Amino acid sequence: MACPHERTDTACWPFAVPDETRVFASVRVLRQALPVLMVSHDDDGDWVFSCGTTGEPAHTHDACLGCLVDADPRLAELADLPRGWLAYRLDPAGRWERGPLPDDESIVDTLLHNW
């Protein structure tokens, strides 16, 4: 799938994977332009970008990492997020909080339901 961005300064790209890497994103981020408030870097290397309104896998779609970062440059702050970790913020201007992904989804569910 071709993406609308054309990155010319690849030396400044902060992620260890190319900008055209396919990731998972909430359909509400992609279709309704809701802000990304939760990001996980799964143990298997997958990245998931969520608006925090749902944790249902059916509500995600594949997306281009570069396009997401172009839409929200603050996502680049998470380029060093280790595998198996989660980051979240309460609003788009908020500070990213980071920590290991829990063994169960209880903390994710708690975050989603308390926003």
What is the per-residue pLDDT across 20-73, written as a single tens digit (0 to 9) for each? Answer: 999 999 999 999 999 999 999 999 999 999 998 876 778 899 999 999 999 999
pLDDT band at 8 (very low <50, low <70, confident <90, very high): low
Token pair of 11 as six digits: 């030396």
Mean pLDDT of 4-21: 82
Sequence letter at residue 21: T
pTM score of the predicted model: 0.85
Three-state SS for 105? Answer: coil
Does the structure show a pLDDT above 70 at 95? yes
- Residues whose CB is less than 8 angstroms from the CB of residue 8 and which lie 6 or more positions away in sequence, other chains included: none
Percent of the chain whose predicted confidence (pLDDT) is above 70 = 81
26 by Cβ neighbours in 10 Å (0-12 / 13-18 / 19+) ranks as buried
